[in-house]
Amino acid sequence: MMKKIIIVLSVIIFLIAVLVSSKYIYFYYLEDIYYSTSYTKYDGVKEYVILSPEDKNINERIDIKYVDTIAGIVKFKYPYINEKPKIKIKKKDFLIYEKIDKSRKIVFVKKEDNLNYEIKRNIREIDSEVDTTNIFQVYNKIYSHIPKLNILMDSYENIKYDLRLTKLKSVLLPNGSDKNIYKFDLGTLKGFQFCNPDNCSDTVVSLFDDKKEYTLVFSNFTQNEIDFILSSIKIIDK
């Protein structure tokens, strides 16, 4: 009787060991596929992606002097405090800066469609229920993901899901931020802000309408000025 119990326990232990080892093998196999090209590991990027977006209200009632500005497909109000600035606009990515104070500038970029296509393809492969026609929701799913992988307890699907989303988030988050992520809604435009301008000179904002993604980089602007510009932005040609 005791011999049978020992045999059964040995088989159970063996099966558990096989299951555990197979999960680790699966994890390292996927990690090599997803992370090898960037020379990183899952644990190496984890510390940079532990935050999810905080809801932010854009202050639309700011009393400030401004200049109506059009740069390519974007129209907005450019704020100033003292002397009315002479604004220079360069066509490449629509670099907007003041001739007097060139440290204050805005870079406006319309993202290429193929990038969003690749992102949406990756999302569809791990979660078919996500509406990939809504670009903002796709990015919101990625940015809201917090790595919480437990190799021993998670299923194979969860391991794949966590690894893939963590990799996407680590690649898409802008470098050099103070790890603040904000989410806002302006009605026809929604977006994310990366970094608090009190802590960094460059603040990245991703804007989304119903079809496209746009990126703005604000250099040496206050939060009130960024809010003022965002609340006035209109995309005039999609």
pLDDT digits 0-9 by tens, 38-77 = 444 444 444 557 778 889 888 767 778 888 888 878 888 8
Mean per-residue pLDDT over the chain, rounded:
75
Domain locations along the chain:
1-238
- DSSP letter, residue 118: H
Q: Up-side HSE of residue 233: CA atoms within 13 Å toward CB?
A: 29
Determine contact, residues 203/194, Cβ cutoff 8 Å. yes
Q: For tokens 């604000």, what's the residue?
A: 218
Which one has a higher pLDDT value, 102 or 14? 102
pLDDT of 185-237, one tens digit each? 998 899 999 888 888 888 999 999 877 888 899 988 999 999 999 999 988 86
Mean pLDDT of 3-27: 57
pLDDT of 89-147, one tens digit each? 776 557 776 666 677 888 888 776 666 777 888 888 888 888 888 888 888 988 888 87
Residue 44, pLDDT score: 45
Strands (E), 93-235: 95-98, 105-110, 181-185, 190-194, 202-208, 213-219, 234-235
Q: Up-side HSE of residue 134: CA atoms within 13 Å toward CB?
A: 13
State the Cα–Cα distance between residues 70 and 51, nearest whole angstrom. Answer: 35
Residue 41, pLDDT score: 47
State the Cα–Cα distance between residues 159 and 15, nearest whole angstrom. Answer: 20
Determine contact, residues 231/58, Cβ cutoff 8 Å. yes
